[in-house]
Amino acid sequence: MATTRRTALVTGAGRNIGRACVLELARMGYDVVINGSSDRKACESVAREAAALGVETLVVMADVGSAEECRRMAQEAIAKFGSVDVLVNNAALRPAKPFLEMSEADWRRVISVDLDAAVWLSQACLPGMVKKGWGRIVNFTGMNAMHGYAGRAPVSVAKHGVWGLTKALGKEFGPKGITVNAISPGPISADVEDDAESNHHRLETMAKVPLGRMGTPAEIGSVLGLLVSDGGAYVNCQMIQVNGGGQT
């Protein structure tokens, strides 16, 4: 049965930034749809944390690299809650591989998860937002979108694409009461570390941060909270860098 509260869907929500986004939204009173691709136990743990804050939750395991899975997830969320009012496209792959060793499958997998998922989920959730005359889409870009990195060509291309998608959708749907923005995190400490290569890359980048430390997932969640709040209603088509001054 649909609730009268607003509902948010967060992809890649089982840990780190995704988990922090879910908990921030739950503190704000949003019912939350928690997505993961493989670790159901982690997603269910996040769901329990959110439910303890007094909201309803739904865990949907889905591979966001599949358009069909994206649509199925949105349909399940809408069936339970009536709509998806806030969409947070957080899930991403960040593999490192020399460009000349990259296969077509390597390329398409990263593009499908890091870029295409935001397209298909936005397309599935926007009709309900348009009908209500209110909605928020928050995408994640990051250091790959700002600078590009050797060995991460598909990630850099996908994240640049997400930034373009953010601006295009914000301009198209802003007149309908829907804002679309992006958050670009700098080096962020992880509740659960990624692979050793990613962690090494994060530590190297942190050395260039004027504040001299990594950010926390909760600090990213706080920026998300602003963007979906009434106080953030005039922010649209923007990429907000949350990086301690480490990217210019």
Instruction: Give residue-wise pLDDT tens across range 130-169.
Output: 999 999 999 999 877 677 788 899 999 999 999 999 999 9
**Percentage of the chain surpassing pLDDT 70?**
91
Distance CA 47, CA 80 (A): 15
Per-domain boundaries in the chain: 7-242
Distance CA 181, CA 186 (A): 16
CB of 183 within 8 A of CB of 138? yes
Band the pLDDT of 191: cuts 50, 70, 90: low
Q: Which residues pair with 89 in a beta bridge?
A: 139
pLDDT score at 2 = 40
Distance CA 73, CA 75 (A): 5
Band the pLDDT of 198: cuts 50, 70, 90: low
pLDDT score at 181 = 98
Distance CA 118, CA 99 (A): 24
Token pair in block for residue 184:
């670009």
CB of 81 within 8 A of CB of 2? yes
Residue partners of 207: CB distance under 8 A and separation at least 6: none
CB contact burial 67-103 (16+ within 10 A = b; e otherwise) = bebbeebbebbbebbbbbbbbbbbbbbbeeeeeeeee
Neighbours of 195 (CB within 10 A): 11
Q: What is the mean pLDDT of the chain?
A: 92
pLDDT tens digits for 73-114?
A: 999 999 999 999 999 999 999 999 999 999 999 999 999 999
pLDDT score at 190 = 80
- Dihedral, CA of residue 68, residue 125, residue 54 and residue 34, to nearest 10: 30
**Averaged pLDDT for residues 227-247:** 93
CB of 31 within 8 A of CB of 3? yes
Token pair in block for residue 171:
């301009």
pLDDT score at 187 = 87
pLDDT score at 202 = 61
**Averaged pLDDT for residues 16-30:** 98
Instruction: State the pTM of this model.
Output: 0.93
Q: Residue length, the chain?
A: 248
Band the pLDDT of 5: cuts 50, 70, 90: confident
- Dihedral, CA of residue 189, residue 106, residue 162 and residue 220, to nearest 10: -10
Band the pLDDT of 197: cuts 50, 70, 90: low
pLDDT tens digits for 51-76?
A: 999 999 999 999 999 999 999 999 99
Architecture of the domain defined by 7-242: 3-Layer(aba) Sandwich (3.40)
Is 10 a residue whose pLDDT tops 90?
Answer: yes
Cα angle 170, 175, 181; round to 5: 20
